[in-house]
Amino acid sequence: MFENLDHLYRFPTRAAIDALAIRFNLPNTKNMQDWEYEVADANRIDEFLVAYDSGELREDEKFTLMAMLV
């Protein structure tokens, strides 16, 4: 019944985290867990939404950025 559900799981990639950290000047250290939640900042929602809609982000970056937004 539940043979292979791996296709249902998705997580932020290291490449996306690195790219977003550089783009938004966010902390990114090896000891951070759940990076997308640690760096989420309600004061920067407009900036993040503009980047999301810009068409400049790769799919994995958009996925990670959306995790920061919700």
- Model confidence over 20-67: pLDDT tens digits? 999 999 999 999 999 999 999 999 999 999 999 999 999 999 999 999
- Tell me the residue type at 4: N
Given a cut of 90, whether residue 1 has pLDDT beyond it is: no
Give the separation between CA 57 and CA 52, rounded to whole angstroms: 7
Instruction: List the structure tokens of 44.
Output: 């920067």
Comparing C-alpha atoms, which of 6, 65, 61 is closest to residue 37?
Answer: 65
Query: Is there a domain that residue 55 lies in?
Result: yes
Domain count, the chain: 1
State the pLDDT at residue 2. 67
Given a cut of 80, whether residue 68 has pLDDT beyond it is: yes
The model's pTM is 0.88
Cα first-last separation, the chain: 32
Domain range enclosing 24: 10-69
- Tell me the residue type at 22: I
Query: Is there a domain that residue 3 lies in?
Result: no
Instruction: List the structure tokens of 41.
Output: 């900042």
